[in-house]
Chain A
Amino acid sequence: MTDILTFTDRGIYCPAGGFYIDPWRPVDRALITHAHSDHARPGMGAYLATTGTAPVMRHRLGDIRLDTIRFGEPRQIGGARVSFHPAGHVPGSAQIRVEVAGQVWVASGDYKTVPDGLSEPFEPIRCHAFITECTFGLPVFKWTPQDVLARQINDWWAANAAAGRTSILGAYALGKAQRVLAAVDPAIGPILTHGAIENTNEVLRAQGITLPDTIRVTRDTVPKDQPGALVLATPSALGTTWAQRFGPASTAFASGWMALRGVRRRRAADRGFIVSDHADWDGLNDAIRATGATRVFTTHGYTNSFQRWLTDQGYDAHVVSTDYQGETLDLVAEDAA
């Protein structure tokens, strides 16, 4: 039996349908799992994405030829039948199911199995072959339950507010920032947002996603007028003059890497909250089991060890090298020399 998806130097390719999934080099036809920049890149002839992903893609990629598809809606493309299913990664994110002559393959893009109250919950899809990410594919990664996480962030914010400090939390503009918004208790104080985050918020609100009220930080923002505020910043804005304007502050960083004490301490933030859009160790293993797939391809993350682990578990597992980045944080390799 021939493979219905192949791995090329442009991305994942379906010969029967003549399309690519999340390609990283220009192609005629691209099916996009979600709007993160390592998956939705500029320069494609035509795009297909979910209705939930399309607005952020348009916001980020500008004037593109973009067709949309609803979750679960079947579509015939050449000799392939495709459908998009929730990946639980960020709002609108999808796994792409491809069926050719009774063979079913699923490209999962990025996924997270635990509901976050914001993204459409991950849906396991039965398939013969499953292409999985493994950003956090080591058994040391086990995420904090959502309710505990919400309490941790709220306690930190409330304690800072009581001590007259601003709470500055670094989180990526699409996904984590909104998850934090969905988790926090707006009764504690005002919520201020970095422009890049607020832009994404606006796009998501326009789609009907409910987020608490936020105030965009501009040149004219007077921090003194917002005592006890929670400031959502992009990670790159932490520690810059942008962040210094808020005076006495406690800083925090939201990432799956915060599960590791060493990484937490190297990021000179006061606190690290374990928040990730990706599946943890148990999530990856459960998701793969639920697909019923016998063949598994591992992409971005600890691909080699995860492939070895899956092989030990009886899967026909292979490593696929891609240009996807996952949740990056220069972990240990820096300053090796």
Chain B
Amino acid sequence: MKDFATLFSRIDETTKTSVKTAALAEYFRTAPDTDRMWTIALFTGRRPKRSITATRLRAWAAEVAALPDWLFEESYGVVGDLAETIALVLPDPQDTSDASLTHWITYIRDLSMLDDHARKAGILRAWNSLPATERFLFTKLLTGGFRIGVSAKLIVRALAQATGQPEPELTHKLMGNWTPDTTTWDRLIVADDPGADLSRPYPFYLAYQLDGFDDLGDPADWTAERKWDGIRGQLIIRGGAHHLWSRGEELMTDRFPELAQLRDYLPDGTVIDGEILAFADERPLPFNALQKRIGRKSVPKKLLTEAPAILMAYDLLEHGGADIRDQPLALRRAHLETLTTQAPATAPIRLSSVLPFATWDDLSAARDQSRDLNAEGLMLKRRDSPYLAGRKRGDWWKWKIDPLTVDAVMIYAQAGHGRRANLFTDYTFAVRDGDDLVPFTKAYSGLTDAEFREVTAWVRKNTLQKFGPVRQVPPVHVFEIAFEGIQPSPRHKSGLALRFPRMLRWRRDKPVAEANTLGDLRAMLDNYG
């Protein structure tokens, strides 16, 4: 674990991305195979399951440190991170250990098989043999959360530096539901076979918000479609099975069982990029209908009829088992059209239609209809564009309708007034700024009562600190904040203030790492302030 701790310190001790990348790259060049696989896994959200409750860990740590529980809690309140608090209060280790990261992960997983007594003994033994940083990391692994300021993107960049492979290829290789148990460094990273895993998705191509038509050139080079307001997904049909992935790399196959029948209509070796929509009478239902199906592992029959789901197909990435992402959009789209028209009308798939237009003004009119159609705006795609990986400028643009929105992280909650006095309804939100979170607005409306009740129960259980009526909570929940205007405000730490901010929806599908940044807000300020 020493090498991993050194890597962690090097990353943690700098604010410069280039230094972080170099440290990771060096680690990927030199660490043993299983350790580097676990490192990739940890930083791409594939951490081992949490096997011990936080309550137990706190009690054991307080006991070892000979501290009363109240003093441990007070310390935790000041530190703000459980693993760090534990690592800090424990007495110096009496033993040493040269064991690897992989060893400790195996150790933690083995603990979950033991009874409580043996588990405690195992954890105390580990605490007593690891120096400060390693102890912190070990405890971090125990508590399950492993967010230490390294994004999957940074991992890809470092791997590219270490292996000389192009970033998009590595991004693709890292996708899917592999774990260090199911594959090896050679098979996942070295082998030139991204398709080895039949369920593996392609990296999604994401667009930036359009900032003007000046650089687009001739309208004839472009196609326009609706930007549907659902869940972006990738349907994979390979080897007689199908998989449905979200943009956040979450497997959603079982949440939308009605899509299974597409296996009967689409040939093997097909991968479609599209939008999952709740859909009835040939039109999408409002996003709320779909919302009910997010976060459910199994779907009750009632919901299947109330909010039936379809795949609105945007693009074809794999055709007849071949990766066709570098072919022009027009060609990919032609194949897609053939595939979708072969399916019967009752099949839960539609082809996202192209909007006819001659001038940008025509498009503007089409965009104005978005809200009525339950769409978010338009997508502009260059006819000859390849399907790229990640968010890229140039060939694809999204042209969303107002209001302005940002995805923000809830960091404080406060009880409401009057009828809502027993609910936490007033939240303070932050955007990301490097590894930090910068508070920028409060909002207190927009959720349903049921949602407020759910958040309230969560806040009560997860309060980090109280400042009078204000509760500080762990930054884990992302909400989409809508607002009508943005203006500079030197009084605020973020340097800006919003007009009429409100919660548009609870983005349970978004991890904090995908929340917007202070940079995004500043860009909005530049555009609309």
Contact = CB atoms under 8 A, between A and B. Distances in A.
A305 B71 contact: yes
Interface string A307-323: 01100100000000000
A187 interface: no
Interface string A134-160: 000011111000000000000000000
Interface string B11-24: 01111100000000
A305 B74 contact: yes
Contacts of B149: 265
Contacts of B75: 138-140
Interface string B432-459: 0011100100100000000000000000
Nearest to B470: A336
B412 A260 contact: no
**Chain B's interface: helix, strand, loop or mixed, by majority?**
mixed
B81 A268 contact: no
B318 to A, nearest CB: 42
B88 A308 contact: no
Contacts of A336: 412, 467, 470, 472
B14 A261 contact: no
B79 A262 contact: yes
Given A332-B465, A336-B412, A140 B88 contact: yes
B71 A270 contact: no
Nearest to B466: A336
A113 B205 CA distance: 59
A270 B467 contact: no
B85 interface: yes
Interface string B61-84: 000010110111011001111001
B13 A270 contact: yes
A32 to B, nearest CB: 31
Contact of B79 (A140, A270, A312, A334): A140
B85 to A, nearest CB: 6
B81 A138 contact: no
Nearest to A163: B19
Interface in B152-167: none
Given A261-B12, A335-B493, A142 B78 contact: no
B439 A139 contact: no
Contacts of B493: 334-335
A302 B77 CA distance: 12
A270 B428 contact: no
Interface in B462-519: 465, 467, 470, 472, 493
A333 B78 CA distance: 10
A259 B439 contact: no
A270 B78 CA distance: 22
Contacts of A266: 436
Contacts of A142: 88
A139 B467 contact: no
Nearest to B412: A336
Contacts of B289: none
B8 to A, nearest CB: 11
A268 B81 CA distance: 19
Contact of A139 (B67, B84, B465, B470): B67
Interface magnitude class on chain A: 20 to 34
Q: Which of A261, A262, A266, A270 has the most CB of B within 10 A?
A: A261
A270 B81 contact: no
Contact of A331 (B78, B84, B85, B442): B78
Interface in B416-440: 428, 434-436, 439
B13 A271 contact: yes
B436 A265 contact: yes
Given A266-B436, A332-B80, A139 B15 contact: no
A222 interface: no
Given A260-B78, A332-B80, A270 B412 contact: no
B439 A333 contact: no
Interface string A237-266: 000000000000000000000011110011
B89 interface: yes
A268 B68 CA distance: 34
Interface residues of B, number: 34
Interface in B312-345: none
B145 to A, nearest CB: 14
Given A140-B78, A308-B70, A333 B13 contact: no
Nearest to B430: A335
B84 A261 contact: yes
Interface string A75-112: 00000000000000000000000000000000000000
Contact of B15 (A138, A268, A337): A268
Q: Which of A259, A265, A336 has the most CB of B within 10 A?
A: A336
Nearest to B72: A139
A140 to B, nearest CB: 4
Contacts of A259: 88
A51 to B, nearest CB: 38
A266 B430 CA distance: 14
A169 to B, nearest CB: 14
Q: Which of B71, B434, B467 has the most CB of A within 10 A?
A: B71
A132 B88 CA distance: 23
A139 B14 contact: no
A278 B64 CA distance: 26
Contacts of A271: 13-14
B517 to A, nearest CB: 15
Nearest to A265: B435
A138 B188 CA distance: 46
Contacts of B89: 139-140
Interface in B184-221: none
A308 B467 CA distance: 20
Given A262-B79, A266-B436, A336-B470, A140 B85 contact: yes
Given A305-B74, A331-B78, A139 B13 contact: no
Q: Which of A140, A142, A268, A269 has the most CB of B within 10 A?
A: A140
Contacts of B71: 138-139, 305, 308-309
A24 to B, nearest CB: 26
Contacts of B68: 309, 312
A271 B14 CA distance: 6
A270 B141 CA distance: 25
A227 B174 CA distance: 43
Given A270-B15, A336-B467, A139 B78 contact: no
Contacts of B72: 139
A258 to B, nearest CB: 11
Contacts of A140: 75, 78-79, 85, 88-89
Interface in B236-294: none
Contacts of B436: 265-266
Contacts of A270: 13-16
A144 to B, nearest CB: 10
A335 B14 CA distance: 24
Contacts of B80: 260, 262, 332
A211 to B, nearest CB: 27
Nearest to A144: B132
20 contacts: A138-B75, A139-B72, A139-B89, A140-B78, A140-B89, A260-B78, A261-B12, A265-B149, A268-B434, A270-B15, A302-B78, A305-B70, A308-B70, A308-B71, A332-B80, A333-B467, A335-B428, A335-B493, A336-B470, A336-B472
Given A138-B78, A139-B72, A271-B14, 8 more contacts: A139-B65, A139-B67, A260-B79, A261-B81, A305-B74, A312-B68, A336-B412, A337-B470
The 9 closest A-B pairs by CB, nearest first: A140-B88, A336-B467, A335-B439, A139-B89, A140-B75, A305-B74, A138-B75, A262-B80, A270-B14
